[in-house]
Amino acid sequence: MSERSEDQDLAARAAAGDESAFRRIYSAHVRPVYWIAHGILRSPTDAEDVTQETFVTAWRKLPGLELAGESLLPWLATICRFHAANRMRRRRRDEAHTTDAVGEDVPDTVDVEEQIITGALADRIADEIGTLGALDREILRLCAVEGYAYRAAADELGVTTAVVRNRLSRVRTQLRDAVQEARDA
């Protein structure tokens, strides 16, 4: 049995819940997946995390996988690239929000009225988010908070890109309307 057809066999067995088959997939592909992640992230720690996230995602998605080729590596590499891209976005966002990124425009005084309005607005937004269904909250979290692209969020949630785009558009409209109502009140 060639290595490529072995991947197909292992994928089918792992999709059926065979953990030893999945361990063999992991052993066969962990190094190339790690080096893909490391090449993107340039950080051994981040590359290790993304490698683990890649295989966790692969384990979850194997039951629905229709392997296009004979090797799992292109599929694993795609999952790895999505996770690495998400990690890069989070890293950039976190760096932009550190205290080092705060400029000279920090006010010396606090406007209490503005804080009350801002707090009330935040409460209104939180209440509105609480009315969302579980899928809509996850889409909002992944796309608006975590910075996922529609495709990456769709892959993460097991839905189509159109579902993510349409639901996120509806949620954003709902939140905008809630903010407008709060400002008008």
CATH at residue 67: 1.10.1740.10
| CATH code, 165 | 1.10.10.10
13 burial (CB, 10 Å; 0-12 / 13-18 / 19+) is middle
37 and 69, same domain (yes or no): yes
Give the pLDDT band of residue 15 (cuts 50, 70, 90).
very high
Contact between 25 and 54 under an 8 Å Cβ cutoff? The reply is: no
Please, what is the average pLDDT of the chain?
80
Pairwise pLDDT comparison (102 vs 165), residue with the higher score: 165
Q: Is the pTM of this model over 0.75?
A: no
Q: For 60, phi and psi rounded to 5 degrees?
A: -65, -35
37 and 10, same domain (yes or no): yes
Could you give the number of structural domains in the chain?
2
64 and 116, same domain (yes or no): no
Residues whose CB falls within 8 Å of the CB of residue 175, separated by 6 or more in sequence, listed in order: 125, 128, 129
Per-residue pLDDT at 140: 79
Per-residue pLDDT at 90: 86
Amino acid at 76: L
**The last residue of a domain, from among 96, 126, 159:** 96
116 and 83, same domain (yes or no): no
Note down the domain range covering 17. Answer: 3-96
Average pLDDT over residues 164-175: 88
- Position 103 in a domain: no
139 and 67, same domain (yes or no): no
- Position 102 in a domain: no
Per-residue pLDDT at 179: 73
- Position 60 in a domain: yes
Per-residue pLDDT at 133: 86
Query: Tens of pLDDT along 84-127?
Result: 888 988 888 877 766 555 555 555 555 555 555 555 556 667 67
Average pLDDT over residues 20-42: 89
Give the pLDDT band of residue 13 (cuts 50, 70, 90).
very high
Query: Tens of pLDDT along 37-91?
Result: 888 888 889 999 999 999 999 999 998 888 767 788 888 988 888 898 889 888 8
- Position 130 in a domain: yes
Count Cβ atoms below 10 Å from residue 185 Cβ, excluding itself: 7
43 and 89, same domain (yes or no): yes
